[in-house]
Chains A and B, each alone.
Chain A
C-alpha cells in the first residue's frame, strides 16, 4: 500500500485540515485539491453540485430511488418507512452519498459525515461516478444528463395534474401497473429521443390527439375481406415481436385515455434513464471506488492529508470492498464494489507489472499505459462485456471464485469449475451470464394480438435453461391486462420449440 510507504517522506505541504469537523470552507479546499488530482489523472467530469443534507433528508432521497424529484406514489412511502425503521433500529447505516446522473452532477453529502468521509465521498461521487456518467457509452447513448432534471419536473407536475383531474386512485392504478412492467419498458437497442421539459410539454398535447387517432386505425385496418382466409398465414400484429412492453402499450392499447398513455410514457422514460445504471453496477462502483482510493492516496503522498485521515479513510474503504465468502452468514452475493474495485486495480497492475500469465491472457493491454487502458475500459463496456474482457485468472484466484450448477433434474448440486487452469474460462463465462440482464430477467416479448377475435394480447416467454416464471407472474399479468384492457396470455417456448400456454388473465367485456 502506498499510504504506508510514504510516511517518512518530507511533507511538501501542510495538511489541509487535521480535525474531523468539516466546514464549507474546508470542503471547498478539499474539492479544489481533489479536482486538481483528478484532472492530472485525466478524469473528464460534468461540473459538480454538492448538496449538504441531514440524515432525514437522506432517507427522503433514498426512498425516491435516486430521483432528485419524484412523482408521488405509495411505493416510495413504503420504501421510506422501511428505511426509516431500519435506520432507527440501527439495522443499517445510510449511504454516505447519493449521486445523480445529471449535468451538473448532483451529489448529496450527509452532515453527520466527518471531514474524511466528506472528502472520500467527494472523490468517489463527484469525480468517480461523475466521470463514469460522462464517459461510459451506455450513459452517453441512453441518458441525457442535461435534460433529466427538467424531465422529472415535467413528469412530477404532469402526474400531479392527472391526480387532480382524474383522482388519486385512478392514477395510482396506472402507476402500479407501469411499475410492474418497468423492467420491460426499455429499448435495448434503439436510441431514445432527447428529453426536455419544454419540448415535452409542447409536444405532449399533439401526441395525445395523434395517438388517439392512430389507435382507431389499428382496428379499422383489420382486413375485411375474408377470401383465402384458410390458405394465407395469419398476419401477426406486431409483425415482429416487441420487447418493450410499455412502448407497445403506449402506442397500441385500444382503450386507454390519452393521459394514461402519457403516464405510461413517463414511466418508460424513467425506466430507460435507469437502464444503464442497472447494466453497469460493477463497473460504475468499481470505477468510483478505484478513483477515490487512487486520488486520496495521491493527496497523502503530497502531504495534504494526515495519517489520521488515512486510517479513517482506509477503514471505511476496507469495509466497502469487503467480500464475505459464500458460507458466511453475511454473504449476500458478490459485492459489486469488491469485484469492480479489484478488476480496475487489476487492470492497472496488468499494465504496470504484467506477469507471463497476463501477457498470455491480455496481450493487448499488458505493459500499456494504464490510464489510457482504464479510460478505454470505462468508456466502452458494460458489466457483462467488461467481465468477459478483463476478468483475469489472478483475480479469480484471489477471490477464490467457483461455480455451482443447480439443475433441477439432478439430485445434487455440482461444482462445475474452480479457480484453476481448467476453470478460469468457465467461471468467467458463468459470471458474465450472471451480469447479463437479458438472461437474468425472463425473456418476455409481445408476440401477437388476436385482432379478429377477443383482442387478447399474447406474450411469448422464451425459456432460458428451462427456467419457468415465478408465482408473481399472475399478478403482473393482471397489471398488464389492466393496461391493455383485454385478456392477456403468456405462452412459454422451451428449448425444443414446444409452445405451451402457461398463464392467462381474462378480462370480461
Chain B
C-alpha cells in the first residue's frame, strides 16, 4: 500500500531558520569578512553578496575521539603485492590521521569553511555597523517619480487633447454608415424613375412622386452632421511610476596628510551609504571622485582611496572643480546631483568664506543634496562654521561630525525624511 505525495510545491526554504542561526552564531567572523570586503570593494560594487571564510576549527563540533597513537589494525581492500609479515614505512602525513577512514572524505581537507552570503545578508551586516533604524532599512525600497505615458484614446477629455485624425476617421465612418440606407434607396428610386421615363412623360404623377421622394431622401442624407461630439477622441495619458532618470554622485575628499587610513575607511563607508541610497532611487548613477589638497583633481576610485598626498588644504578648489564638471557634463535638467564631502575640517583660513560663497551662490541651487562629514577629534574650524551658515539657508544641506561609524547615519536622516514625505 503506497501513497505518493508531491511535495514540490511546499516551501523550499525549510533550512532558512537554521541558516539564520548559523549566521547569528558566527556573527563576529562574518562581520569581519564584511568589513574586509567593504575595504576591498569598489563603491559601486557594494550591492551584492560575499564569500565568507570561517576557520574550520571554529565551526567544528567536538566529540570524544581517539587521538593518534596506540595500536590499531586497519583492514583495507585492493591488495596488490603485500604478503603477511611485510614491513612498510609509515606514510608521512598519515601518522596522525584518524585511522577510521573518515579523516577526509570530502577531498577538501581542513581548509576554511566557506559559504556565500547573499546580497541581503551582506547589506544587513553592512547596515548593522551604521546603526540604521529598522524603518530606514526597509525604506531602502525605491521611491518613484511618475512619468505620463500614452495609453490609447478616451471618449472624454480636454479640448487640447483631441486627436484629430482619430476623431475624423470616426466621423467619416459614422457618416458613411448613417447615409447608406438613404443613398441606396435613392439609387433604387432613380432606377425606377428611369424605367418609368421610357414609358411616360416627366410630368407623370408617379415620376413626380419619385422625384419628391428622392429630394426628401437627399435632404435627409445631407442633414447627417459632418462631425458629432460622439466622434471625438482624446489622447489618453496615464501616470506610470518610473525611476527618476539619472543621478550623479560627487565624492569629495580631503587627502591632505592628516587623513589617515582609518578616517578614509569611515569616509568610504559614508560614500557607500550614499551610493546605496541612490541606487534605490536611480537606475543610472555616475560617480565622480574629486580629491583635493591645495588643488583639486578628478581621479578614479583606486587613486581616490588608496593614494596619499600631503600639503595644505584649499576646499574651494574642489568645489570649483565640481561646479565646472556640473556645467560641462551634468546639466541640471537631465541629472540629479548629489554631493558627499568628507574632510578632517582643516582648511586654509581665508578659503572658508569663499567656500560658503561658492556653495550658496552657485552650487547649492543645482544640487539635490549635499552631505558633509567632518572626521575629526578636535575643535571645529572655520570651514565648519561657514558650512553651518549654508545649512541655515538650505534645507538640503546636511552636515555631521563623525567620531565613529555610528554617527554616519544622522547625515542621511533628512534625506530619508524627504523621501518618505
Chain B residues within an 8 Å CB radius of A126: 2
Q: How far is the CA of A80 from the CA of B15 in the complex (A)?
A: 7
Chain A residues within an 8 Å CB radius of B78: 323-328, 331, 399-400
Among B39-95, those with CB < 8 Å from A are: 59-80, 82-90
Chain A residues within an 8 Å CB radius of B86: 414-415
Known contacts: A326-B78, A416-B84. The answer to whether A76 contacts B15 by CB under 8 A is yes
Closest residue of chain A to B104 (Cβ to Cβ) is: A332
Q: How far is the CA of A434 from the CA of B101 in the complex (A)?
A: 10
Chain A residues within an 8 Å CB radius of B82: 402, 415, 418
Closest residue of chain A to B64 (Cβ to Cβ) is: A442
How many whole Å from B21's CB to the nearest CB in chain A? 4
Q: Is the CB of A52 within 8 A of B7?
A: yes
Q: Is the CB of A476 within 8 A of B4?
A: no
| Per-position binary interface string of chain A over residues 470-489, scored 1 when its CB falls under 8 Å from any chain B CB and 0 otherwise | 11110110010000000000
Q: Is the CB of B6 within 8 A of A470?
A: no
Q: Is the CB of B70 within 8 A of A52?
A: no
Interface residue? B160 (CB, 8 A):
no
Q: Is the CB of A420 within 8 A of B113?
A: no
Among B79-125, those with CB < 8 Å from A are: 79-80, 82-90, 99-102, 104-108, 113-116
| Per-position binary interface string of chain A over residues 75-110, scored 1 when its CB falls under 8 Å from any chain B CB and 0 otherwise | 111101110111000010000000000001000000
Chain A residues within an 8 Å CB radius of B62: 180, 472-473, 475-476, 479
How many whole Å from B87's CB to the nearest CB in chain A? 4
Known contacts: A74-B24, A414-B85, A414-B86. The answer to whether A472 contacts B63 by CB under 8 A is yes
Among A77, A168, A469, contact of B67 (Cβ-Cβ < 8 Å):
A469
Chain B residues within an 8 Å CB radius of A256: none
Among B20, B67, B113, contact of A470 (Cβ-Cβ < 8 Å):
B67
How many whole Å from B120's CB to the nearest CB in chain A? 15
Q: Is the CB of A414 within 8 A of B88?
A: yes
Q: Is the CB of B8 within 8 A of A54?
A: yes
Q: Is the CB of B3 within 8 A of A47?
A: yes
Closest residue of chain A to B78 (Cβ to Cβ) is: A325
Chain A residues within an 8 Å CB radius of B107: 91
Interface residue? B135 (CB, 8 A):
no
How many whole Å from B61's CB to the nearest CB in chain A? 6
Q: How far is the CA of A347 from the CA of B416 in the complex (A)?
A: 76
Chain B residues within an 8 Å CB radius of A442: 64-66
Interface residue? B12 (CB, 8 A):
yes
Residues of A in contact (CB 8 Å), total 101
| Per-position binary interface string of chain A over residues 24-40, scored 1 when its CB falls under 8 Å from any chain B CB and 0 otherwise | 10011001000100000
Interface residue? A467 (CB, 8 A):
yes
Interface residue? B418 (CB, 8 A):
no
Q: Is the CB of B66 within 8 A of A406?
A: no
Closest residue of chain B to A408 (Cβ to Cβ) is: B69
Q: How far is the CA of A321 from the CA of B204 in the complex (A)?
A: 114
Interface residue? B421 (CB, 8 A):
no
How many whole Å from B354's CB to the nearest CB in chain A? 56
Interface residue? B239 (CB, 8 A):
no
Q: How far is the CA of A183 from the CA of B105 in the complex (A)?
A: 21
Number of A-B contacts (CB under 8 A): 273
Q: Is the CB of B5 within 8 A of A50?
A: yes
Interface residue? B377 (CB, 8 A):
no
Interface residue? B329 (CB, 8 A):
no
Closest residue of chain B to A54 (Cβ to Cβ) is: B8
Q: Is the CB of A408 within 8 A of B70?
A: yes
Known contacts: A51-B7, A471-B67. The answer to whether A180 contacts B61 by CB under 8 A is yes
Q: How far is the CA of A126 from the CA of B3 in the complex (A)?
A: 11
Interface residue? A419 (CB, 8 A):
yes
Which stretch from A58-66, A144-152, A224-232, A306-314 is at the chain B interface? A58-66
Chain B residues within an 8 Å CB radius of A333: 100-102, 105
Q: How far is the CA of A70 from the CA of B82 in the complex (A)?
A: 48
Q: Is the CB of B4 within 8 A of A27?
A: yes
Residues of B in contact (CB 8 Å), total 67
Q: How far is the CA of A241 from the CA of B89 in the complex (A)?
A: 41
Chain A residues within an 8 Å CB radius of B199: none
Interface residue? B25 (CB, 8 A):
yes
Chain B residues within an 8 Å CB radius of A409: 71
Among A49, A332, A402, contact of B105 (Cβ-Cβ < 8 Å):
A332
Chain B residues within an 8 Å CB radius of A411: 89-90
Among A52, A74, A84, contact of B4 (Cβ-Cβ < 8 Å):
A52
Interface residue? B417 (CB, 8 A):
no
Interface residue? A119 (CB, 8 A):
no
Q: Is the CB of A434 within 8 A of B71?
A: no
Interface residue? A302 (CB, 8 A):
no
Closest residue of chain B to A471 (Cβ to Cβ) is: B67
Known contacts: A54-B8, A442-B64, A476-B64. The answer to whether A77 contacts B70 by CB under 8 A is no
Q: Is the CB of B75 within 8 A of A334?
A: yes
Q: How far is the CA of A328 from the CA of B310 in the complex (A)?
A: 62
Q: Is the CB of A473 within 8 A of B64?
A: yes
Among A63, A104, A326, A405, contact of B15 (Cβ-Cβ < 8 Å):
A63
Interface residue? B165 (CB, 8 A):
no
How many whole Å from A326's CB to the nearest CB in chain B? 4
Chain B residues within an 8 Å CB radius of A179: 61
Q: Is the CB of B20 within 8 A of A444?
A: no
Chain B residues within an 8 Å CB radius of A181: 63
Among A159-214, those with CB < 8 Å from B are: 168, 172, 176, 179-184
Q: Is the CB of B87 within 8 A of A431?
A: no
Closest residue of chain B to A468 (Cβ to Cβ) is: B67
Q: How far is the CA of A404 from the CA of B75 in the complex (A)?
A: 6
Q: How far is the CA of A104 from the CA of B10 in the complex (A)?
A: 20
Q: How far is the CA of A441 from the CA of B67 in the complex (A)?
A: 11
Which stretch from A272-280, A352-360, A422-430 is at the chain B interface? A422-430
Closest residue of chain B to A475 (Cβ to Cβ) is: B62
How many whole Å from A312's CB to the nearest CB in chain B? 22
Among B15, B65, B74, B89, contact of A412 (Cβ-Cβ < 8 Å):
B89
Known contacts: A78-B22, A400-B79. The answer to whether A57 contacts B8 by CB under 8 A is yes
Q: How far is the CA of A401 from the CA of B75 in the complex (A)?
A: 7
How many whole Å from B99's CB to the nearest CB in chain A? 7
Q: How far is the CA of A444 from the CA of B86 in the complex (A)?
A: 35
Q: Is the CB of A326 within 8 A of B76?
A: yes
Interface residue? A72 (CB, 8 A):
yes
Q: How far is the CA of A340 from the CA of B6 in the complex (A)?
A: 32
Q: How far is the CA of A76 from the CA of B23 in the complex (A)?
A: 12
Chain A residues within an 8 Å CB radius of B2: 28, 31, 35, 47-50, 126
Closest residue of chain A to B20 (Cβ to Cβ) is: A77
Q: Is the CB of A440 within 8 A of B100?
A: yes
Interface residue? A413 (CB, 8 A):
yes
Q: How far is the CA of A404 from the CA of B287 in the complex (A)?
A: 67
Interface residue? A373 (CB, 8 A):
no
Q: How far is the CA of A328 from the CA of B115 in the complex (A)?
A: 29
Chain A residues within an 8 Å CB radius of B63: 180-183, 472, 476
Among B3, B74, B89, contact of A434 (Cβ-Cβ < 8 Å):
B74
Q: How far is the CA of A413 from the CA of B87 in the complex (A)?
A: 6
Chain B residues within an 8 Å CB radius of A35: 2
Chain B residues within an 8 Å CB radius of A423: 84
Interface residue? A463 (CB, 8 A):
yes
Q: Is the CB of B21 within 8 A of A412?
A: no
Chain A residues within an 8 Å CB radius of B195: none
Q: Is the CB of A466 within 8 A of B71?
A: yes
Among A60, A401, A463, contact of B79 (Cβ-Cβ < 8 Å):
A401
- Apart from A401-B77, A412-B88, 8 more pairs, CB < 8 Å: A47-B2, A57-B14, A327-B78, A412-B90, A422-B84, A467-B72, A472-B64, A473-B62
User: Which A residues contact B (CB, under 8 angstroms)?
Assistant: 24, 27-28, 31, 35, 47-54, 56-57, 59-60, 63-64, 72-78, 80-82, 84-86, 91, 104, 111, 126, 168, 172, 176, 179-184, 323-328, 331-334, 399-409, 411-420, 422-423, 427, 430-431, 433-434, 440-442, 444, 463-473, 475-476, 479
Pairs A–B under 8 Å by Cβ, sample size 13: A76-B18, A78-B22, A81-B22, A81-B113, A323-B77, A327-B80, A401-B77, A404-B88, A406-B72, A406-B99, A407-B72, A418-B82, A467-B69
Closest 5 CB pairs of A and B: A325-B78, A333-B101, A77-B22, A470-B67, A467-B70
